[in-house]
Amino acid sequence: MQNFSDTPIVELAAIVAVHLKQRGITVVLVGGLAVEIYSENLYLTKDIDMIDISYQEPAVLSQAMAEIGFSKQGRVYVNETTEICVEFPSAPLSIGEQLITETTVFESNAGEIPILFAKDVIKDRLAAYFHWQDKQSLVQAVAVMIKHPISLDELKSFCQNESKENEFALIQQLLHSAKQQELSEMADIEFRFH
């Protein structure tokens, strides 16, 4: 069995994505690892979330993951050589009510990882904040916005579409504060939120 104990999470995501693609399974990276990549490691995670946009049967996905030593435990796939787990949230690929039809690719040392665009990762994290009042998701959105600016018009429009236009000023203020303070650590950004 392949040993992933020294495999960085981004490379492991690439290994999984490339392997699945060879088996006819197309996935897109979302969630915390997408935040980690776009925030340039301001945020760190231990899990890989990928959405299967080829809508394969669960048994096909499980078989493909077993070929690289991952077995399903509850909702996640685990491998005894690494703490990193892989989860496949349900398709379709969407943010709020909006279906996502365009994605991009992140080049890693271990191959290409299909991934949401940075602006969609921001919107995804904001949607989580809006719907579950999850402050951590708001922090993650700001961490990505620091490195990948999103137009204020697009951000405002997204807030309006989610019926959260009253949150727009707060997001703008937090982003402005984080940039002004040149915050470069997740803990610094989190501190500003409390």
Q: Are residues 140 and 76 in the same domain?
A: no
Number of domains in the chain: 2
Q: Are residues 91 and 167 in the same domain?
A: no
pLDDT in tens, 164-179: 999 999 899 888 887 7
Residue 2 lies in a domain: no
Of 115, 149, 166, the residue that ends a domain is 115
pLDDT (0 to 100) of residue 116: 97
Cα–Cα distance for residue pair 66/50, rounded to 1 Å: 16
Q: Are residues 159 and 178 in the same domain?
A: yes
The letter for the amino acid at 148 is: H
Enter the pTM of the model.
0.91
* pLDDT, average across residues 45-58: 95
Q: Are residues 30 and 111 in the same domain?
A: yes
Residue 4 lies in a domain: no
Residue 2: pLDDT band with limits 50, 70, 90: confident
Of 54, 85, 115, the residue that ends a domain is 115
Tell me the pairing of strands 82-87 and 98-99: unpaired
Q: Are residues 19 and 75 in the same domain?
A: yes
Q: Are residues 109 and 19 in the same domain?
A: yes
pLDDT at 5 over 80: yes
Q: Are residues 108 and 141 in the same domain?
A: no
pLDDT (0 to 100) of residue 188: 60
Q: Are residues 72 and 137 in the same domain?
A: no
Residue 1 lies in a domain: no
pLDDT at 62 over 80: yes
The letter for the amino acid at 66 is: A
pLDDT in tens, 119-167: 999 999 999 999 999 888 998 999 899 899 899 999 999 999 999 999 9
Write down the H helix ranges in 30-79.
31-38, 58-67
Q: Which of residues 186 and 34 earns the better pLDDT score?
A: 34
pLDDT in tens, 65-116: 999 999 999 999 999 999 999 999 999 999 977 899 999 999 999 999 999 9
Q: Are residues 107 and 151 in the same domain?
A: no
pLDDT at 185 over 70: no
**Where in the sequence is the domain holding 134, given as residue range(s)?**
118-192
